[in-house]
Chains A and B, each alone.
Chain A
Amino acid sequence: MHRTLRWIKRCINAHKRPTEQNLFGIVQGGLDPQLRDTCVKGMVALDLPGYAIGGLAGGEEKDSFWRVVAQCTAGLPEDKPRYVMGVGFPLDIVVCSALGADMYDCVYPTRTARFGTALVPEGVLKLKHASMAADFRPLDETCSCMVCKRYTRSYLHSLVTKEAMGSQLVSYHNVAYMMKLSRDLHHSILEGRFPEFVQGFLRKQFPQGDVPEWVCNAMEVAGIDISMCCAPLK
């Protein structure tokens, strides 16, 4: 964390094109709230065009992950972009967006496509599974991408992991899915129906109501009521 603060100052000094390029500082500090606090304050003092939240998406417990994101978004300026690096799963993106993050990057959609997994509103579709061989539906009935318009799960089942075209087509759909998710988040916030969007999203992913505890906790802090999506505790 300290090294990162030293390096951002060196980066700023060495940056020759500050009016053409946006140099974001990355907040580090692991899972330690005090280190994170020091780093956020140090970054904010430098008045950068935007801030990234780094050091996450490394397989840490989700319960720790969301708390760090929440702490950082609370401490970073409201009027500058917050970029959570390496996130991620659609669920993680929805949670981080609820906590106030704006930008994401991740290899997940394309990497999982190469291994034969398609992203759908219900979660994931494992195309290698034998049941897909005779499934003549598109990947996602609600998706309007080129792949869902043309191809069935059955054909894609025969292509994935064996043909380069399989990687291409499933990647295409997965990227389209992520783009749609971003658009939907964006419009639902603008139109004042973000909580409803989150509720709909969680219902689709967890039809039995088994929303993970960390999501419930995070949404509580974010001020989004998802009680209707969660099955009553035993």
Chain B
Amino acid sequence: MKLVVRYRCGECRARAGLLYLGNRSHVLETPCLLLCTRKGLPTFIPPDLLPSIHPDALALHASPLHFFDSPSAKTLASAGGLHKLISLPGYTVAAIARDFVCIAEHGSSNKIGASFQTPFGRRTVKPVDYMDVINAMQPDIWASLPDEVPSWVTHKRNKQSVERTLNWLDSCISLKKDGMESGLGCIVGGNSVEERGFCAQEVAKRDVSGFCLSGFGLGESAEERGLLLEAIMKNLPDEKARQISGLDLPEEVLQAVSAGIDVFDSTYPHSLTMSGLAMVFPLDMEECLSGRTSENANDVGSDFTKINLRAVAYRNDTSPILESCRCYTCSKHTKAYINHLLNTHEMLAQTLLDIHNTHHYMNFFQAIRNAIQGGYFADFKAWFASRRQAVNEGILVSSAA
């Protein structure tokens, strides 16, 4: 894996570049977004529809934790790896142990392994089992097994998690199959700036291809996160890739990009879909500031970030989710139809919403890359924050608020 940084933001650590994987057969433009999956495939979007979502929709986040029951590591190995199992050979697969299906149970983890609550019961995952799955998956990118803890644990538990994560990183490195790329080293440390810095230094000493920033999105505030990211980043080599899990909101992504993160896996599009919400935040700073976009002030209960398609107000709304959006859902279907599908409990609602939300979020990442390349990322980030502020202060308010 090789990261080539092409553009940098003058005012912060943000950078845009190209991530070369494997034998240079896969290239990802960074900062990039990995699509979340269940057992290898997206939740609602079948493989024949994936190419139409977005030209960048070629990188998947497949959590190794999904492969401890069925399909098992043995099935993966028989199939010849995850790419073959899911029949998506041209796609990039990143195996990272943080997802929305299997939840880490920091209270049950011990020095033998990390404990997770899964759909098939509670499992303690040891590094040797973990690497069985990683080796069987043959992913393009993989991260070691972390002992993730939320921000509110005791200082003692936090130190324990750093110690375990470093031990497990060393185990994972030694258990890696010959010929496979080295993985991302997980950096934990909870809410402690000291522990984060220490862990980052230690992981940087190991033979890793990049860094997986773990334990975020687990209760830390935005201010705390900023300090923790800075504590990590100043101890990491610039030329290796940095990946983060657990951040959802656009503002959180912007903060992390600002700190120098290159790869994101996010469940934000998916969690919006599951709640019947659709993303509508504008992406074009120029268009918006010049007043050329028409934000529909009739969007009921809208905070101009997302709309709730279950709302009765949309029952007869024959306009698409977003006029300017060119995704399949917005090209072919209306808010009224999706409202109807949600009321009749049809899976098509989730499929259509997932397509739109994924497309929109990928466009957001494209806008970020454009901003870094164009030298206006700091302005772009400030504009985004000011919109949120305006909503909170009631300046940008919908007529039905």
Q: Which residues of B contact A165 (CB under 8 A)?
A: 38-39, 41-44, 46
Does the CB pair A167–B78 fall under 8 Å? no
Tell yes or no: B70 within 8 A of A by CB: yes
Does the CB pair B46–A155 fall under 8 Å? no
Query: How would residues 2 to 17 of chain A score, 1 for a CB under 8 Å from any chain B CB and 0 otherwise?
Result: 0000000000000000
Q: Which residues of A contact B44 (CB under 8 A)?
A: 164-165, 168
Q: Which residue of A lies closest to B101 (CB)?
A: A163
With both chains docked as a complex, state the minimum distance between the C-beta of B271 and any C-beta of chain A, in angstroms: 15
Does the CB pair A152–B79 fall under 8 Å? yes
Does the CB pair A151–B46 fall under 8 Å? no
User: Total A-B pairs in contact (CB under 8 Å)?
Assistant: 52
Does the CB pair A162–B119 fall under 8 Å? yes
Tell yes or no: B87 within 8 A of A by CB: yes
Residue tally, chain B, CB below 8 Å to A: 21
Q: Which residues of A contact B70 (CB under 8 A)?
A: 133, 157-158
Tell yes or no: A46 within 8 A of B by CB: no
Most buried by A among B46, B119, B351: B46
Q: Which residues of A contact B (CB under 8 A)?
A: 133-134, 136, 146, 150-152, 154-155, 157-159, 162-165, 167-169, 172
Q: Which residue of B lies closest to A157 (CB)?
A: B70
Interface residues of B in 31-87 (CB under 8 A from A): 38-39, 41-44, 46-48, 70-71, 75, 78-79, 85-87
Q: Which residues of A contact B78 (CB under 8 A)?
A: 134, 136, 154
Q: Which residue of A lies closest to B67 (CB)?
A: A158
Taking a contact as CB atoms closer than 8 A, the residue among A150, A155, A169 that contacts B71 in the complex is A155
- A sample of 14 inter-chain contacts (CB < 8 A) reads A133-B75, A136-B79, A146-B46, A146-B48, A154-B78, A155-B71, A158-B71, A159-B39, A159-B41, A165-B38, A165-B46, A168-B44, A168-B351, A169-B46
Q: Which residues of B contact A157 (CB under 8 A)?
A: 70
Q: Which residue of B lies closest to A167 (CB)?
A: B347
Does the CB pair A155–B43 fall under 8 Å? no
Taking a contact as CB atoms closer than 8 A, the residue among B43, B75, B87, B350 that contacts A158 in the complex is B75
Does the CB pair B47–A150 fall under 8 Å? yes
Does the CB pair B46–A158 fall under 8 Å? no
With both chains docked as a complex, state the minimum distance between the C-beta of B150 and any C-beta of chain A, in angstroms: 28
Does the CB pair B39–A163 fall under 8 Å? yes
Q: Which residue of A lies closest to B88 (CB)?
A: A150
Query: How would residues 280 to 313 of chain B score, 1 for a CB under 8 Å from any chain A CB and 0 otherwise?
Result: 0000000000000000000000000000000000
Interface residues of B in 349-378 (CB under 8 A from A): 350-351
Does the CB pair B75–A154 fall under 8 Å? yes
Q: How far is the CA of A100 from the CA of B274 in the complex (A)?
A: 46
Q: Which residue of B lies closest to A172 (CB)?
A: B46
Q: Which residues of A contact B85 (CB under 8 A)?
A: 155
Task: Tell whether A168 pairs with B46 under 8 Å between CB atoms, given A155-B85, A157-B70, A162-B119.
Answer: yes
Does the CB pair B71–A164 fall under 8 Å? no
Q: Which residue of A lies closest to B41 (CB)?
A: A165
Q: Which residues of A contact B47 (CB under 8 A)?
A: 146, 150
Taking a contact as CB atoms closer than 8 A, the residue among B38, B48, B79 that contacts A163 in the complex is B38
Q: Which residues of A contact B87 (CB under 8 A)?
A: 150-151
